[in-house]
Amino acid sequence: MPNSKTEQNAWRMFRIMGEFVAGFQQLSELPKAVTIFGSARTKPSDPYYKAAEAIAAHAVERGFPVISGGGPGIMEAANKGAAEANGQSVGLCIRLPNEQSGNRFINVRVDFHYFFVRKVMFLKHTCAVVVMPGGFGTLDELFECATLVQTRKISPMPIILYGKSYWHGLLSWMKTHMDHEHHYITHGDLDLLHLVDSPEEAAKALSHIQLEMPDPVPYAAPMD
């Protein structure tokens, strides 16, 4: 075992690099996907669970893989909807002490120790995001995506908030305080977020995105 701070940091760096390499390799052949975020605590009987299933199935019908965080709740619903529609059901699983590490509907699985590596993989392979109701983790993923689109660090993509009753208060507060009162965001930034209230509305919001196939690996001629 490493016995100094320098050695510990070196091994940590290699572990981080290894997670990036594994993620890039395992996902490199997939088309850009529709990613669905949401609470791990949502029960299968919840209408939001059913809605996530339906949105995932619609994405698969259009040829898109579906990516989730790979755990229970909304993540499971997204993977279930994709798998039962005979699509690519991707789980980017994080190892946590108090949550299931992977649901049974995943057919493409990548495991992570570091949250920040996992978030890079989400957005690198995503062409649209659907954010179902959720907690701190869901909000983290929502605002990470919105910030990167706002600052043009990633290509523009649909960011769809599902559930008007759930998101209304947050959006109202952002409009009143962040935009109009304090001008902490540019007027119009909230237009990056599309609020919907049914799987049909979500499908319509996703209807204009185009399937992006992975870039072919360039052929390298063998050296003499």
The string of pLDDT tens digits covering residues 83-114 is: 999 999 999 999 876 655 789 999 999 999 99
pLDDT for 96: 74
SS percent in the chain: helix, strand, coil, step 5: 45, 15, 40
Query: What secondary structure does DSSP assign to 87-106, as a single string?
Result: --EEEEEE--TTS-S--TT-
- Find out whether 89 and 82 touch, Cβ atoms under 8 Å: yes
Per-residue pLDDT, 107: 97
pLDDT tens figures, 7-27: 888 899 999 999 999 999 999
Cβ within 8 Å of residue 125, ≥6 positions away: 27, 30, 32, 33, 67, 90
d(C-alpha 35, C-alpha 75), whole Å: 10
pLDDT of residue 114: 92
33-73 tens-digit pLDDT: 999 999 999 999 999 999 999 999 999 999 999 999 999 99
pLDDT computed for residue 223 by the predictor:
39
Query: Residue 122: what pLDDT?
Result: 93
- The share of the chain scoring above pLDDT 90, in percent, equals 83
Tens digit of each residue's pLDDT (9 = 90 or more) over 132-186: 999 999 999 999 999 999 999 999 999 999 999 999 999 999 999 999 999 999 9
Length of the chain: 224
Per DSSP, the residues of 136-176 read HHHHHHHHHHHHHHHTTSS----EEEE-HHHHHHHHHHIII
Q: What is the pTM of this model?
A: 0.90
Distances (CA, A) of 71 to 74, 90, 200: 8, 11, 25
Question: What pLDDT does 220 receive?
Answer: 38
Cβ contact 100:69 at 8 Å: no
Interatomic CA distance for residues 59 and 74, integer angstroms: 15
Torsion over CA: 146, 99, 27, 213 (sign): negative
Question: Quick one: average pLDDT of 114-123?
Answer: 93
Alpha-carbon span 20 to 118, nearest angstrom? 8
For the record, the structure tokens of 18 come out as 């290894």
Q: What is the CATH number of domain 31-206?
A: 3.40.50.450
Beta carbons within 10 angstroms of residue 132's beta carbon: 28
pLDDT category at 210 given cuts 50, 70, 90 is confident
Please tell me the predicted confidence (pLDDT) of residue 222: 42
pLDDT tops 80 at residue 129: yes
For residue 190, with 0-12 CB atoms within 10 Å meaning exposed, 13-18 middle and 19 or more buried, which class applies? middle
CA distance linking residue 175 with residue 61, whole number of Å = 35
The yes-or-no verdict on residue 196 having pLDDT over 90 is: yes
